Structure 1
Amino acid sequence: MRFPKIAAATAVVLLAAACGGGSDDSSGGEAESLTVWVMGTSQDPLVEYFDNAEARFQETHPGVEVDVEFIPWPDAQESITNALAGGDAPDVLEVGNDQVAGWAAQGALLDISEQVGGWDTAAGIDENALEYGTYEGVQYGVPWFSGVRTLYYRADWLRELGHEPPATWDELVEVSEAIQEEYDVPGFAAPTDFTNGIASFIWSNGGEIATQNGDTWEGNLTDPATVEAVEFYASLTTDGISPQGYVGENELVALADMANSELGMYIDGGWALGSMEEQAEDPAVLENIASAPIPGADGIAPVFAGGSALTVFTTTEHPDEAFDLLTVLGDEEGGKGYADVAGFFPAYPALLETPEYQEDPERAAAATQMQNTRFFPTTPRWTAADQDSKILPGAVLDIVRGGDAEEVLGAANEELASILNEPVE
């Protein structure tokens, strides 16, 4: 069954009885077509991007069509699971970069270590991002694009107060207090259900969440640097910098406040700007919202680089051609092209240093932040520890509610190690 070149998200239909690969030719010869599953919904700039990618691919594979199917993110789990069970399946698959280990453990992704090792372009990819596409030492994914969070702030207020955007924890407190005193709104939002934000504070202080020692994961939540960072983050609420209304909430709760002059600063990704436009009662306010790198203990804080990876699906009948297509999508031209139309950043550090990014006021802060990134534990069990059990956010919540930091983090550390070391099914 061949998907249409560009299919709307609502057209996704997975048939359990259909073939297991996206190509038409099962004889082992050149494919007639290759199928790519892309997460999200079809938009005109994306259609143009894939048309160009197909033309580039056909320079070396004449006549091989590239069929693109858009899969809504909420449907990804079911779609990939059905493909593994024998339903319609892609040749090339986009997955979240934090999902590579999980799908690799379930047998959905092809080992592409040898191909990546022979791909010269891979040398220019962010080394840590490329490493995040491995599981148990095997390369399963190549980073396609990345996105990071930055500090959003009211540029007009800071100018009036005579402050630069805060670059350290001390400056964050100082500027927050000045905003609150002058404008009678909270200076900064520190939601407790915000692993990505909390992690930046931990990493900036030299702490870790968990590290791997051989085959065993060890929790690092009781390390002094981690404890100090978590205590500081919690103190932003207990000391009145961040409102009680953000306790138990994620960063989305602060978005409308930022868009409507009810908050001075908060941490979020570039994707938040579109939502601010929808929620701002006075659109003119958005002209005064700028961004800067996240302040750390003594300087710019590391940040989790979210994004997606390109993978080859395990059932493809044409793995060589599928990898060739992956390289067209994921090389400097393809990776940058997709990142630009999708509102993210390419996974090539050298590109981020160019004037195109560094001199663009809307992208400069994130481009700088992209050069200081970190990643969560590379294990399928991280989702269970974070999204399911909310170990780190839960610990922060307990401390904000009066729990002793060392006792709370000690218990959380035991739970974290236990979950991360559970056998992968």
Structure 2
Amino acid sequence: MRLTHIAAAGSALVFATACAGNGDGGDVDPGDAPEELTIWTMGGATEESEEFFEELRDEWSQDYPDTSLNVEYIPWDEAQDSITNALAGGDAPDVLEAGNDQVSNWAVQGAILDLDEYVADWDEAEDINQEAMDYGSYENTQYSVPLHLAVRTLIYRADWLEDLGHDAPETWDELVEVAEDIEDEHGVLGFGAPTDFTNGIASFIWSNGGEIATSEDGAEWEGQLTDPATVEAIEFYTDLTNDFSPVYTGENELIAQADLANGELGMYIDGNWAFDEIADQAEDPDMVDNLGAAPIPGVDGMAPAFAGGSNLTVFSTADDPDFAFELLSTWASKDMAATWAEYTGFFPAYPELLDEPQFQEDEVAQASAEQLENQRYFPATPNWTDADFEGKIIPGAVLDIADGDNAEERLAEANEELTEVLNQETD
């Protein structure tokens, strides 16, 4: 069953009127509101996003009718340059959407404000997923508030599994069994395990009780890649690569996505957003009706998954930070977060909202909502970008192990590098 990413504008979740003082306990005077506030939202403008921001303007104007909202779209690949230029004195936003894994980076660079006092006075903050809220902080200071979350799940050919008499696998043993049966019956790859896929690899590590790196109370980070549980998980993952998808060594999940789209793969890990991309690549777009989604299999049940997503924060140069947070907390409020989720196809950061019909009546959405019950996060340090996106420390080690290197020896090297990079000084 395919997830409908963009819901109709007539929402089943009718949002309530926002109140003045939404964010800071009612201390702001609407008469002091500025003439304009600027939002930077990531990505490109779509019909759906434009409709959402019109709803946000309507909501905002009920308390601040004399303040216009200027919405600017920043492509994700231009975010770094745009924010850097804004810090240097260029045009800057008041409210900024940022990837939740980039919050520490912008905090270190002085691009975003300390929101501790604002969040402490915002009643709805206590209803937000607290792990997601914590990931929006850096060195025990709250710099951002979660806007939405997104997790990866197992995507599979439901029609094939049904014919084989299998439900979606829930454990590692079942994953291997189903992958073998797919290969035997259909002569294609059973499960896609690309080596350049930290998000997927991490789920296997966490499921086995391993960690990537740990830090106690802001102390130095210690890599945990030599932990026996981590080593065992990575060996299991590389066995999956070699046994079921050796062509994915050195590759990421996009190659698996393309293979699934055209009947060359039975299962792989990806996000609910991939369903549209699969349909676009398929010779027969209707094949997505034969796909299913389920939580990622772990050792004994659902594995943890990295919860990516976006956070909202106040830019450090905002002229009216009180009103900027008022806008932030209106956008990130429980009611508006539900509306945002309907337009974007992502998931609200309020756990109670995941029980709403829109997340439970569709199989794909329900799988993601269930997976969000077991979420984890990467090290909350600006150096994670250098370690993973730039250095590819974990993917590099996994690639070498899949190619035959001794796992303990290679992971010892990777662990030393990871610890050094995570603890390097930041500007």
Is TM (by shorter chain) over 0.5?
A: yes
1:264 Cα deviation from its structure 2 partner: 0.3
Give, in whole Å, the separation in 1 of the partners of 2:56 and 2:256. Answer: 38
- 8 Å contact kept, 2:397–2:411: yes
The AA in structure 2 aligned to 1:304 is F
1:404-423 to structure 2, matched below 5 A, reads: 404-423=406-425
The AA in structure 1 aligned to 2:221 is W
Match of 1:187 in 2: 190
Indicate the larger mover: 99-108 or 361-370.
361-370
Indicate the larger mover: 210-219 or 87-96.
210-219
Q: Which of 204, 207, 212 is equivalent to 2:207? A: 204
Match of 1:358 in 2: 360
Taking structure 1 as the reference length, the TM-score comes to 0.92
Indicate the larger mover: 181-190 or 350-359.
350-359
- 8 Å contact kept, 1:295–1:301: yes
- 8 Å contact kept, 1:112–1:139: yes
Match of 1:221 in 2: 225
Unaligned runs of 5+ in 1: 1-27
1:371 Cα deviation from its structure 2 partner: 1.4
Match of 1:138 in 2: 141
1:63 Cα deviation from its structure 2 partner: 1.2
1:168 Cα deviation from its structure 2 partner: 0.4
Match of 1:10 in 2: none
Q: Which of 225, 230, 236 is equivalent to 1:232? A: 236
Q: What per-residue deviation string (whole Å, max 9, x for no partner) do you get for residues 265-287 of structure 1? A: 00011111111111110123211
Match of 2:170 in 1: 167
Give, in whole Å, the separation in 2 of the partners of 1:82 and 1:167. Answer: 47
Match of 1:4 in 2: none
1:309 aligns to what SS in structure 2? strand
- 8 Å contact kept, 1:179–1:187: yes
1:165 aligns to what SS in structure 2? coil
Q: Which of 309, 330, 340 is equivalent to 1:328? A: 330
1:88 maps to 2:91: yes
Give, in whole Å, the separation in 1 of the partners of 2:306 and 2:338. Answer: 19
Q: Which of 370, 378, 384 is equivalent to 1:382? A: 384
The AA in structure 2 aligned to 1:410 is A
1:97 maps to 2:86: no
Give, in whole Å, the separation in 2 of the partners of 1:138 and 1:123. Answer: 16
Match of 1:47 in 2: 50
Give, in whole Å, the separation in 2 of the partners of 1:232 and 1:358. Answer: 32
Q: What per-residue deviation string (whole Å, max 9, x for no partner) do you get for residues 361-412 of structure 1? A: 2311011111111000000000000011101111111110111110011111
1:118 maps to 2:121: yes
1:37-76 to structure 2, matched below 5 A, reads: 37-76=40-79
Match of 1:291 in 2: 293
Q: What per-residue deviation string (whole Å, max 9, x for no partner) do you get for residues 97-128 of structure 1? A: 00000000000001111100110101110010
Give, in whole Å, the separation in 1 of the partners of 2:223 and 2:250. Answer: 23
Give, in whole Å, the separation in 2 of the partners of 1:279 and 1:49. Answer: 28
- 8 Å contact kept, 1:133–1:139: yes
- 8 Å contact kept, 2:94–2:318: yes
Give, in whole Å, the separation in 2 of the partners of 1:202 and 1:153. Answer: 21
Match of 1:79 in 2: 82
Give, in whole Å, the separation in 1 of the partners of 2:47 and 2:186. Answer: 42
- 8 Å contact kept, 1:39–1:95: yes
**Paired positions, count:** 396
Indicate the larger mover: 258-267 or 50-59.
50-59
Greater length-normalized contact order (CA 8 Å, ≥ 6 residues apart)? 2
1:354 Cα deviation from its structure 2 partner: 2.8
Taking structure 2 as the reference length, the TM-score comes to 0.91
Match of 1:300 in 2: 302
RMSD of aligned Cα (Å):
1.1
- 8 Å contact kept, 1:358–1:368: no
1:290 Cα deviation from its structure 2 partner: 1.0
- 8 Å contact kept, 1:154–1:289: yes
Give, in whole Å, the separation in 2 of the partners of 1:30 and 1:286. Answer: 48
2:52 aligns to what SS in structure 1? helix
Match of 1:314 in 2: 316
Q: Which of 338, 341, 344 is equivalent to 1:342? A: 344
- 8 Å contact kept, 2:195–2:251: yes
The AA in structure 1 aligned to 2:213 is A
Give, in whole Å, the separation in 2 of the partners of 1:342 and 1:132. Answer: 21
1:151 aligns to what SS in structure 2? strand
1:29 Cα deviation from its structure 2 partner: 4.4
1:237 Cα deviation from its structure 2 partner: 2.2
The AA in structure 2 aligned to 1:385 is A
Give, in whole Å, the separation in 2 of the partners of 1:415 and 1:99. Answer: 21
